Structure 1
Amino acid sequence: MKITRLTTYLVPPRWCFLKIETDAGVTGWGEPVLEGRAHTVAAMVDELSDYLVGKDPRHIEDHWTVLYRGGFYRGGGVHMSALAGIDQALWDIKGKALGVPVSELLGGSVRDRIRVYSWIGGDRPSETAEAARQAVARGFTAVKMNGTEELQYIDSHDKVERCIENVAAVRDAVGPNVGIGVDFHGRVHKPMAKVLFKELEPYKLMFIEEPVLSEHYEALRDLAHLSSTPIALGERLYTRWDFKRILSEGYVDIIQPDPSHAGGITETRKIAAMAEAYDVALALHCPLGPIALAANLQIDAGCYNAFIQEQSLGIHYNEANDLLDYVSNPEVFAYRDGMVTIPVGPGLGIEVNEAYVQSRAVEGHRWRNPVWRHADGSFAEW
């Protein structure tokens, strides 16, 4: 079996899909995308295809090694996202060729479903209590919300109060037993994070996500003792080497690598195993499309430390298209009792509606994240 062609499709709302074809008629799908940089990642896939065409797709570990190590410059969001989508598609091909799900090739499953959470609210937290009620009514047992708007290094207490009021309203709306994740989105610098950690303690959160940017990880040493709430981080880390220091220093309770950013199934599973050795939980990042979710779930199936899965059904980004629009068998993502079933079909377990993908790729997208500014005109983290 030989790889004959790699084709990328940029589709609404902000995704990039990859199809890898072989001379045996077996095709695989992946989702190589870095939100806001989809065209750049697609170009990187095209560059990497020069090596892959003509190769046996089943030699996944070797291909991953060459595509990562074969360039003098390596790593980072664009490179690792391109490699991620390729890796997902290669696993999809191998599973389809053998007639088994990817999870079976990775050693089999420790679970057949996993808890999921629903995003509530948008980029700026608002009306989150009602959205939380609706999510619980749809069967979700956990929700996640943005905690704050933009914050200066030192900011006024009214912004802190708005954050606390929003979280309190959600807790009141859903009761004590629904998990609430509060995402600081890297918008908060260490001085204000210290304030928010203490103020949020009474609300018994499921986790606080990205309390500071990953590059300011050392700040967690001073934050961790301020609250009993688990700290989650990792969507902007891309390799096992990025996670090595994070795990060894011990201030993170939950890691959140994204298998469409962090080198695909091959690399993310190694990161997950590293985390298990440090007794750190896994909550894969995935505000993306159905191919990415299918890849995430194949990893979740065999990772003992996976406890919850992000997914984008109904997320505020999904305006032009939603999660299940691009698959012919959406029933494989069976949402029930706050969980989603892990697909058991061959490969990633989904059937991509290729005709619909092609039609939507005609429209494509040029999604960019917002650019925010503080009142004084300086740049604010989104």
Structure 2
Amino acid sequence: MGNLTIEHIELFTVPPRWLFLKITTKSGVFGWGEPIVEGKADTVAACIHELKQYVIGKDASNIEDLWQVLYRGGFYRGGPILMSAISGIDQALWDIKGKALGVPVHELLGGAVRQKMKMYCWIGGDNPEVVLEQAHEKVAAGFKAVKMNATGAMEWVSSVKDVKKVAHNIKLLREEFGFDLDIGLDFHGRVHKPMVKRLIDELLPYNPLFIEEPVLPENNEALKHIYSYSSIPIATGERMFSRWDFKDILHQGVVDIIQPDLSHAGGISEVRRIAAMAEAYDITMAPHCPLGPIALASALHVDFVSANAVIQESSIGIHYNKGYDILDYMLNPEVFDVKEGYINLLSKPGLGVEIDEYKLKEAVKIGHKWANPIWRHEDGNFAEW
């Protein structure tokens, strides 16, 4: 494989809200990663600089040993910042090893169990015309599944008027597309426990594909009440960062779909382990990915080898990507072509995405200071975004 001793780690903060990482070895083989906590790019970058001491000078092919050192080498472990930093490094190491051996990452993970992966993308907009317009755009682009936020800001106990608004957009989509379009609904942690069952009652007639993050992950104990209340599949996990974070909800059986993020939950190495844990409980996986091309490629490679992976999120055209989109930094955007609702098996060595470094370096000059909005209710109290 040549000399895979790690020589350099470079970081690129680029719009719309991403942080890319490049690891280069002495033989010149390099790999890409995407370590990012949305709104905390500088913090994650600082963490990577602290982790360099464990990585520079080491053999890039020793992925598992490096993962263990990065995770266990600090007395304090886990959490979004550290695990996202580890995620980006891990992705780049798999990219390097695949390129050095001339095979795609999914071959290194045991080989594909499927030849294509079902995809979904986001639609947004507060008024019905925009929702329908964007849904038609996504269907025309090849998607057969979409996701949208179920609610705006919700009070701890909301008025009946606000509750009745929640089902309006999915009702319009059902009337327009029937059941030819799968529709996921993201509660986004905006809804507190007192309102979840009432909202489910409103949504049940329209048969959403799943309900995502019905409560915040710090309130996961509420899932046992929600899970037994509804037949709609419950999804959660984008704000859970390791197999240890998932252990309890898997054991309790209070979720149908787990959604670890390949840029937050320890990278390819850890999410593959999380997928295997979920399979043992007959629970499915749909990795969270409102991010860039490296994160999406990483998620797809895990999907391709995980029998319980059911659908993959994509940020193509997502409302966060103003001015820059997921394909803009790629020399080979065709690998993410969606055909009849699916992306075909990635076949190029490593992660299979080729980054346009000239465009990346130009975008670094712009950078970003993205932060999620701060919402408040009518009375001035903080509202979950």
TM range (shorter): over 0.9
2:281 equivalent in structure 1:
278
Q: Is the 8 A contact 1:133 1:174 kept in 2?
A: no
Q: Secondary structure at the match of 2:352?
A: coil
Compute the displacement of 1:55 (Å): 0.5
Q: Unpaired runs of 5+ in structure 1? A: none
Matched residues, percent identical?
A: 57
1:316 equivalent in structure 2:
319
**What letter is aligned with 1:353?**
D
1:252 equivalent in structure 2:
255
Q: Is the 8 A contact 2:11 2:45 kept in 1?
A: yes
1:131 equivalent in structure 2:
134
Matches within 5 A, 1:125-274: 127-274=130-277
Compute the displacement of 1:44 (Å): 0.7
2:360 equivalent in structure 1:
357
Q: Secondary structure at the match of 2:378?
A: coil
Compute the displacement of 1:125 (Å): 6.8
Q: Secondary structure at the match of 1:68?
A: helix
Output the TM-score relative to the length of structure 1: 0.98
| From 17, 28, 33, the counterpart of 2:31 | 28
Q: Is the 8 A contact 1:197 1:223 kept in 2?
A: no
2:88 equivalent in structure 1:
85
C-alpha distance in 1, partners of 2:138/2:68? 42
C-alpha distance in 2, partners of 1:227/1:129? 27
Compute the displacement of 1:137 (Å): 2.5
Q: Is the deviation greater in 252-261 or in 169-178? A: 169-178
| From 62, 66, 70, the counterpart of 1:63 | 66
1:381 equivalent in structure 2:
384
Output the TM-score relative to the length of structure 2: 0.97
Per-residue Cα deviation, 1:17-53 (whole angstroms, up to 9, x for no partner): 0000110110000000010111111111111012111
C-alpha distance in 1, partners of 2:230/2:76? 40
The count of corresponding residues between Structure 1 and Structure 2 is 381
Q: Secondary structure at the match of 2:228?
A: helix
1:288 equivalent in structure 2:
291
C-alpha distance in 2, partners of 1:324/1:299? 20
Q: Is the 8 A contact 1:136 1:174 kept in 2?
A: no
Q: Unpaired runs of 5+ in structure 2? A: none
CA RMSD, Structure 1 to Structure 2 (Å): 1.0
Q: Is the 8 A contact 1:118 1:313 kept in 2?
A: yes
Question: Does 2:8 correspond to 1:5?
Answer: yes
After TM superposition, the runs of 4+ consecutive aligned structure 1 residues lying more than 3 A away are none
Q: Secondary structure at the match of 1:363?
A: coil
2:374 equivalent in structure 1:
371
Q: Is the 8 A contact 1:125 1:149 kept in 2?
A: no
Q: Is the 8 A contact 2:141 2:338 kept in 1?
A: no
Q: Is the 8 A contact 2:233 2:257 kept in 1?
A: yes
Per-residue Cα deviation, 1:82-139 (whole angstroms, up to 9, x for no partner): 00000000000000000000100000001121011120105x5753233222222322
Per-residue Cα deviation, 1:165-203 (whole angstroms, up to 9, x for no partner): 122112112212311100000000011111011111111
1:53 equivalent in structure 2:
56
**What letter is aligned with 2:251?**
S
| From 297, 303, 307, the counterpart of 1:304 | 307
C-alpha distance in 2, partners of 1:136/1:172? 15
Q: CA 1:125–1:342 in structure 2 vs 1: closer, same or farther (change >3 Å)? A: farther
Q: Secondary structure at the match of 2:346?
A: coil
**What letter is aligned with 1:252?**
V
**What letter is aligned with 1:158?**
K
Compute the displacement of 1:56 (Å): 0.4
**What letter is aligned with 2:167?**
I
Compute the displacement of 1:205 (Å): 1.0
Q: Is the deviation greater in 239-248 or in 155-164? A: 155-164
C-alpha distance in 1, partners of 2:127/2:263? 26
C-alpha distance in 1, partners of 2:28/2:224? 53
C-alpha distance in 2, partners of 1:314/1:357? 19
Per-residue Cα deviation, 1:350-373 (whole angstroms, up to 9, x for no partner): 111111111101111010000000
Q: Is the deviation greater in 297-306 or in 335-344? A: 335-344
